[in-house]
Amino acid sequence: MHATALQPASNGADWGESAVWIWKGYRCHWRVLGDPKAPAMVLLHGFGASSSHWRHNAAPLTKAGYRVYGLDLIGFGRSEQPGLHPHIRLDNRLWARQVAGFLEQVVQQPAVLVGNSLGGLTALTTAAFRPEWVTAVVAAPLPDPALMQPLPRRQPRRLRQLKRRTVELLCRLLPLELLVPLISRTALLRIGLQGAYSRSIRHDRELHQLIASPARRPTAARSLRAMSIGMALRPRGATAPALLERLAKHDQPKPLLLIWGRQDRFVPLLIGEKLQQQHSWLKLRILDGSGHCPHDESPEHFHQELLRWLDLNLGRTSALEAQQRA
């Protein structure tokens, strides 16, 4: 492990102290805020975002009694943006290994994992494969196309090869080197972002900037191509249905909370309700007036549901009480 010294704390999108950690040769940017002696919580961002997207959450969760970390997943934020690799797939399995390494080498204690969208899937993957480093999982929400149409347990080899070649060809043909810079510098980005929110984000310059900045890096397009291929070609064992099955088989399954915005246009609430029916051991909380990013759109309600659930499942009554006193 190699890590740089922590930089001074700041507020807003640049919350907490920040540093760079080297994992498997990749530069990984991370943040931290709070008492080093407090229980750990790691915030995992969604697709296209970064640890900056937890701008409204880090300070309140710190006041509630947690040492709060934010990690930029490989390919996002200020972390390295690698391209295609013949032996490494940029998918939720890699990100879960990154998170497990972060917990082991930097956090150095098991933690509550709280993820938005792709971060929720990464948190679930980490808990499924490295449960010793996870105390609880919160996915807000849990996205995966396989939740709508599960992959078959076995596919003919020829079909798998055809799918791989087709996906790789299409992703290589897409002119991402032209599209990504164009979108990041025009109103197209705001239009796309608006789909993730139920309220207007027209005047939220900070949100626009924290999403646009990583997309303007010269390596952003190649990384998007790599993760598009990686996620499209995942085996069934890396999809949410299989991960939930794996987690349920543990002797003591980690507590799992789903937080869903009722107005989520990207991942409909119907999916969360279906998951609750299929897996009685997980809990679902619904936030009215929120879209795909409930942590950013309705932070107070989000914290209330999150902390109350953690208090019930981890036996820490001080968390919610501390938030109410703040």
The count of structural domains within the chain is: 1
**Structure-token pair, residue 158:** 């020829």
The per-residue pLDDT for range 284-296, each reduced to its tens digit, is 999 999 999 999 9
User: Domain with 32 in it: what CATH number?
Assistant: 3.40.50.1820
The pLDDT value recorded for residue 9 is 54
Q: What is the pTM of this model?
A: 0.92
| pLDDT reported for residue 194 | 97
Average the pLDDT over each of 2-11, 65-74, 204-213, 223-232 and give the range with the smallest value. 2-11
Give the pLDDT of residue 319.
46
Cα–Cα distance measured from residue 196 to residue 57, given in angstroms and rounded to the nearest whole number: 18
> Model confidence over 76-128: pLDDT tens digits?
999 999 998 888 899 999 999 999 999 999 999 999 999 999 999 999 999 99
pLDDT for 203-231, tens place per residue? 999 999 999 999 999 999 999 999 999 99
Residue 176: which domain range? 2-325
Residue 252 is predicted with a pLDDT of: 86
Please say whether the beta carbons of 130 and 102 come within 8 A: no
User: How sure is the predictor about 323, in pLDDT bands with cuts at 50, 70 and 90?
Assistant: very low
